Structure 1
């Protein structure tokens, strides 16, 4: 079936002028022309038009779209998949906005004066979420204040407890502070489903968005307090297995590069999911980085490594909050073996 330019424009919601422009710049040329010179479009042309319109929705220029469509192995299914992801994100945002509007309506119906500033801040945060997370990410992150299933209230209560502890001068190394840190990390693992990639995105948003820090109360000082208490909870375990000198070295270095581990583990998780061979150059580089971070706090003494290995074999808490699971660890060990290393649980984070 062949469509004239006017028919195609009407069917797809574009103007004839737009289709003429696409033809003039070589972006969408009709496959045929009638005896009288009318442009005629067939199925392949319509499929290409779909690709063009889909890419336009991603904010690409016509020149950029032309370059992409010139790629020989362009997959239409991939374009449709991206469209579906974008649509899912819009649906999630619309549902969240409807939830907020319903709450506002209930307040107004009861004659209550809503806190419009807070409400507008919430809408601002919803837009902020879209900068960092995909629609699928948002479905997997209940800690974000998006809908009625959110655990944001639970987090707010914990933040208040931590704020109170800090205000009263509770030492981050105290047993009480360690308990708060364990609860915090446990909730974080739970609400990110143990996915380090979500953790990295969440961290980026918390660091890069002052509005988020103000809204949630999760300031850099609170994060540092939790990290210090959590590190201390791990050190108390290592202390049982190390000599005084070994433990002194670990105390001086353990936790210093805590911010470097999540991106590393997230990258490895992605390669694992993508079935990247452990011998691949990118995995070899990540394995070297892993070893470097490990040795930065454990040193190079094989005897110390053996003691740490013993601790990891009988102390599962040492893996708590690391976002490292057995499949990921085995994958890293395979990559280390390619480097000529002798990987052991002592080389886990």
Structure 2
């Protein structure tokens, strides 16, 4: 623990250890997927890697309670202190690889959000958004229109989740929507396919006009 003590307070170490239980099972499959892309020679700046970069960021946020100072310190420790790396943990090379992809994602976000905006974002409710995306895809396949009551119900739930993710700040929500609309790096990790996203956006516009 002496190595950890150079980077974190005793309270922070206790919180990290407690939070680890909630995310521990999700790391091995994600590391394996990143390792497979790296072994296959997928460039770190490839859009193919962005869904994994987004998942990595989300898991780190869950583990570190969304505290980006903690995330930065953890990264510094992992890069600088070989003793901090578990035998079954990711290699320094893999960390460098995924950090490059994450850096591209962060740069895209920070073209639209400032650091204070970014710090206020919550943990993305990816599981709920994927569920809603699947339901919306099924409705789209049946030819449902944006004003269909079932589509509208999904749009309302999605909007509520997005509002909470943006700390109930319409300014942050608008800037993040603009980022998603204009940044291919962010679109590559979206939980919705383009046709589903188009239906969702039209349904949300119908909601706002009602």
Q: What TM-score, normalized by structure 1, do the two folds share? A: 0.31
Q: Which has the higher helix share?
A: 2
Q: What TM-score, normalized by structure 2, do the two folds share? A: 0.49
Which structure would you say has the larger Rg? 1
